[in-house]
Amino acid sequence: MLKIAIIGALITSSSLLQAEDAFSVEVGSKIVSSSKNKFLGIQELSEIVGKDGQENFIEGYYQIDKYKFGVRYTNISKFDENKLEVIGKVKIPSSFTNLSYNLGFGVGFGEQKKKRKTISTDMTASKYIISSELSKHYVNTEIYTKELNYFLISVQAGINYKITNNLSINAGIESENKYWNIQYKLINSNENVSLAGLGQRSIKTYASIEHKF
């Protein structure tokens, strides 16, 4: 009888564990609002790497009880940009049966394709101009970006609504910090510019649909 009871308990425990463990895929979009950072005191970083817009992402992760671990791929077609993150999430139950809260983080890297573009340096902020009757001085410069990549850290907070046992929707907010490494060449010149560790912060709202297998 004892052996039968032990075997029964093991089968029951195994069934419960399998019920909690699952592989999930999540697909969604984010609306981005980025900070207006400058380097050298005058040049807006966004003129080189861009800011704001929409991101489309897909996540794949394994869930163990209330914890999720996996990867997230994001494409930002507006800037020819791709990024990959290792992600982790924790699910926090609520008093409502089908509703729960999500807290998450991501660590990864990304890059933009090489491109040719024109940037306009705001010389008003330059220490070399001590007086002027004009409100703005711009020097238009054509550049070719040789390297645009970054390291990133992100945190998320959101809600999850379960439609069925296998299908749910998510919505929330995300804060992301990128640390850019940039190299570009001035067109019609032999000058190259290299910059490292330039910070850019973004606040995002997101919505997604999740399927559990």
Q: For 47-104, how does the pLDDT look when each residue is reduced to its tens digit (9 = 90+)? A: 888 888 899 999 999 989 889 999 999 999 989 999 999 999 999 999 998 999 999 9
| pTM of the full structure | 0.81
Q: Coil, strand or helix: which one is 13?
A: helix
Is residue 91 in some structural domain?
A: yes
Region 127-146: what's the mean pLDDT?
Answer: 66
pLDDT one-digit tens code per residue, 7-30 = 444 344 444 444 457 899 999 999
Is residue 137 in some structural domain?
A: yes
Q: How far is CA 80 from CA 53, 115, 132, 149, 157, in A?
A: 12, 9, 39, 12, 27
Query: What is the number of alpha carbons within 13 Å of residue 187 lying toward its C-beta?
Result: 11
pLDDT of residue 193: 82
Is residue 1 in some structural domain?
A: no
CATH of the domain at 113: 2.40.160.20
Between residues 139 and 58, the one the model is more confident about: 58
- Within 10 angstroms of residue 125's Cβ, the number of other Cβ atoms is 13
pLDDT of residue 136: 56
The DSSP element (H or E) to which 211 belongs, if any, is strand 192-212
pLDDT of residue 41: 62
Is residue 12 in some structural domain?
A: no
- The first and second tokens of residue 95, run together, are 């008093």
What is the number of structural domains in the chain? 1
Q: How confident is the model at residue 195 (pLDDT cuts 50, 70, 90)?
A: confident
Residues in CB range of 195: below 8 A, 6 or more apart: 39, 180, 181, 182, 183
Contact present, 62 and 37 (Cβ < 8 Å): no
Is residue 169 in some structural domain?
A: yes
Is residue 45 in some structural domain?
A: yes
Strand partners, 172: 158, 206
Contact present, 93 and 100 (Cβ < 8 Å): yes
Q: Which domain holds residue 122?
A: 22-212
- The first and second tokens of residue 166, run together, are 């296998």
Nearest 5°: phi and psi at 2? -60, -45
Is residue 8 in some structural domain?
A: no
Contact present, 115 and 144 (Cβ < 8 Å): yes
pLDDT of residue 50: 86
- The first and second tokens of residue 21, run together, are 């463990």
